[in-house]
Amino acid sequence: MHREPGGNGVALSSVISCGCVVSGGSVHNSLLSTRVRVHSRAHLQEAVVLPGADIGRGAHLRKVVVGQDCRIPPGLVVGEDPALDAGRFHRTASGVTLISGPMLDRLGG
């Protein structure tokens, strides 16, 4: 059991595949494929996360598709500022943001 407040993981109205760990984060209306890790204080809403992705501590992702084996950096926020999202990632006309490994690599450079 986690000692800090809100330290338990929560998943509501979501599909969580085998091998996933939601460690102190929250997942709402989302689908997590196999071997996904959601770290403390991360929040996913309306997300599809492909196998092997790692969602960093404190990340907030809304209306996203996260690519296979992506490493979402701690504190990354996607889904709150459409213009910012479109400049960093691929954003569809319906407002869904695709996040891939190469896109994340460009953020670090």
**86 within some domain:** yes
**43 within some domain:** yes
Which pair of structure tokens corresponds to residue 91? Answer: 């954003």
Residue 4 has a pLDDT of 60
**23 within some domain:** yes
**45 within some domain:** yes
The boundaries of the domain holding residue 40 are 10-108
Residue 60 has a pLDDT of 98
Tens of pLDDT, residues 66-81? 999 999 999 999 999 9
Residue 66's DSSP bridge partners are: 49, 99
Residues 46, 109, 20, 57, CA torsion sign: negative
Instruction: Supply the CATH number for residue 34's domain.
Output: 2.160.10.10
**16 within some domain:** yes
Residue 109 has a pLDDT of 57
Residue 6 has a pLDDT of 57
Cβ neighbors of 29 (< 8 A, separation 6 or more) are 12, 13, 14, 45, 46
**1 within some domain:** no
Note the pTM of the prediction, 2 decimals: 0.93
**Are the CB atoms for 20 and 35 separated by under 8 Å?**
yes
**3 within some domain:** no
Residue 8 has a pLDDT of 85
Residue 1 has a pLDDT of 44
- 91 burial type by CB count under 10 A (0-12 exposed, 13-18 middle, 19+ buried): buried
Determine the Cα–Cα distance for residues 1 and 34; give it in Å rounded to an integer: 23
Determine the Cα–Cα distance for residues 61 and 45; give it in Å rounded to an integer: 6
Nearest alpha carbon to residue 42 among 31, 58, 30, 27: 58
| 10-residue averages of pLDDT along the chain (109 residues) | 66 95 95 97 98 98 98 98 96 97 88
The total number of structural domains in the chain stands at 1
**2 within some domain:** no
